[in-house]
Amino acid sequence: SPSLSPSPSPSSPPPSPSLTSLPPSSATSSSSSSSSSSSPSSSTLSVRKHVSRKKLTIESQGIDLTPDLLLVSSSEIEEVSCSICFQLLNDVVQCPNGHMFCRNCIEKHLEVKENCPECRCVLSAQLLSRCLFAQKHVDSLLLYCPYRFVMTQESIDSLASAPLSPTPSSTPPSSSLSELETVYWEEDEEGCQDHIRRYQLEDHQRDCIFRPTLCPYGKEKCGKVRVKDLSAHYTRCNYRPVTCPSCDSPGILPALLQQHLLECSKVMTNCEFCGLNFQRGELQLHLKTCEKSTVCCPFSSSGCDIRLPRLEMEEHIQSQVMKHMLMMQNSYQRVIEDMRKEIQTSLEAKDKVIQELEEQVASLSNVAHVEWKIEKFATERKTPYLQSRTFSFFDMNWFLGLFTNGDNEKSKGFLSLFLFLEPGPVLNKSVSVEYTLTLENEENYKRKKKTF
């Protein structure tokens, strides 16, 4: 059986052990091969044994560091462990024969069997009694602070590949070793070195400056940060909004601060010509009057390409009056010539449009659409010949003629429709006419068309 480390006194410093905490199931399997005189409770205790490591290492089932794994003296758990969950007693109650259990564990057991798991005496929730002495003893046990330990990288990688849901420490183990993920924790040299009593554990965990917490700005993006390191973390956190030192604009992310400073109108900058300091927003106004800034000659549009400091430009203008006048004259002549060409081009384009419009008008004037509607045709067809009104196109008069029973023997029984040119003087004019005749019969509001 594994050797147990000695129990230190509360006043003495803890041993500097290289220890491993075996999970309850491991202790059970090792105890089952020992002598049969072992008590049921002692055969399932979590124990630590010395291993050849420089750091204190804890082995757990699941991702919780339960108080029994944090005991400074692992041998003390033999006297104050629950025989149901195999962990430190919590809210200690006992049966009439003095066997102690966690209240939550025994109440769940009594829902299935109303007897004591140790002595098999008849037991109910009403027969349970508190054991203040045992509770006081459990509460006074010395524990390591949970924030003294960090999960090993191997366990982190293992959990990442097969993540498990956290198991509450009060829940008794119900799975075999092969069904649970084994997690290893190692002592962190920079972790909390405090030893606390069991009853102080919750308060200490809440107030411990080594407690990992999320950055309020970056959340999961920053990862876990110890409470004591938050202030230092804030100085380099890429998600903590900062204030522009120049314009006092709040809420700027550090990653965007540099870009903001390149555009901020309140950032102080030097005039590249005179060296004076101005806010970036005022620099452009200053450059319009800076005597040392380089400016173009006012006659640059006329062809003078001289660039001089503003202070020297007046002298240049005075000394080059005639040259500038000639440049202006040549410039105006070029402008006038360009305008003349532009007007000429515009006139030519308009002439072309006018010509196209005239051609369209001429084309439309040679098209005629004539509609001849014969009312009560059933009566009118008794008349052998019907004639439309005259109409004009190509400066000639035309009319339509309809023979209601054909215009000869061959067409008798048919309608014969013709386009006629009205007799009259024709002044040596030859006309080519393309025409279409369409008969449309309306009967019972249904129209029938035939085109020739």
pTM, two decimals, is: 0.44
Q: Does residue 42 carry a pLDDT above 50? A: no
Q: Does residue 113 carry a pLDDT above 60? A: yes
pLDDT, tens digit, for every residue of 317-331? Answer: 888 889 989 989 998
Two structure tokens written together for 365: 């004037």
pLDDT, tens digit, for every residue of 350-409? Answer: 988 988 887 777 666 667 778 888 888 888 888 999 999 988 877 788 899 999 999 999
CA nearest 78: which of 88, 70, 69? 88
Domain match, 381 and 324 both: no
- Cβ-in-10-Å burial (0-12, 13-18, 19+) of 239 comes to middle
Domain match, 299 and 421 both: no
pLDDT, tens digit, for every residue of 52-78? Answer: 334 566 666 556 677 777 888 777 777
pLDDT at 167: 42
pLDDT at 251: 82
- Cβ-in-10-Å burial (0-12, 13-18, 19+) of 357 comes to exposed
pLDDT at 158: 78
Domain match, 25 and 65 both: yes
Domain match, 65 and 156 both: yes
pLDDT at 430: 72
Q: How confident is the model at residue 452 (pLDDT cuts 50, 70, 90)?
A: low
For residue 214, give the H/E element and its range: strand 212-215
Domain contains 133: no
pLDDT at 67: 78
Residue range of the domain that includes 398: 377-451
pLDDT, tens digit, for every residue of 73-112? Answer: 777 777 788 889 888 888 999 999 999 999 999 999 999 9
Domain match, 297 and 417 both: no
Q: 401 versus 430: which is more confidently predicted? A: 401
Give the integer Cα–Cα distance in Å for 148 and 188. 6
Domain match, 410 and 342 both: no
pLDDT at 68: 73
Average pLDDT of the chain to the nearest whole number: 77
Domain match, 387 and 307 both: no
Give the integer Cα–Cα distance in Å for 183 and 22. 11
Q: Is 109 left (phi over 0), alpha (psi -120 to 50) or beta?
A: alpha
Domain match, 332 and 386 both: no
Domain match, 54 and 170 both: yes
pLDDT at 46: 35
Query: Which residue, 157, 189, 208, sits at the end of a domain?
Result: 208
Range 416-437 average pLDDT: 79
Domain contains 245: no
pLDDT, tens digit, for every residue of 211-238? Answer: 999 988 888 888 888 999 898 998 888 8
pLDDT at 347: 92
pLDDT, tens digit, for every residue of 141-188? Answer: 888 898 988 888 887 887 777 644 444 433 333 333 334 467 888 888
Domain match, 72 and 149 both: yes
Domain contains 443: yes
Q: Does residue 138 carry a pLDDT above 60? A: yes
- Cβ-in-10-Å burial (0-12, 13-18, 19+) of 347 comes to exposed
In contact, 69 and 179? CB cutoff 8 Å: no
Domain contains 100: no
Q: Does residue 51 carry a pLDDT above 70? A: no
Domain contains 334: yes
Task: Identify which of 15-29, 160-174, 278-292 has the greatest average pLDDT.
Answer: 278-292
In contact, 386 and 418? CB cutoff 8 Å: no
Q: 31 versus 331: which is more confidently predicted? A: 331
In contact, 184 and 151? CB cutoff 8 Å: yes
Two structure tokens written together for 178: 């092969």
pLDDT at 350: 92
Angle at Cα 75 formed by Cα 71 and Cα 76, nearest 5°? Answer: 65
Q: 332 versus 39: which is more confidently predicted? A: 332
Domain contains 9: no
Domain match, 405 and 339 both: no
Q: Does residue 343 carry a pLDDT above 90? A: yes
Query: Which residue, 173, 192, 208, sits at the end of a domain?
Result: 208
User: For the chain, what is the domain count?
Assistant: 3
Q: Does residue 2 carry a pLDDT above 50? A: no
Give the integer Cα–Cα distance in Å for 281 and 288. 13
Domain contains 364: no
Domain match, 51 and 149 both: yes
Query: Which residue, 347, 362, 387, sits at the end of a domain?
Result: 347
Domain contains 5: no
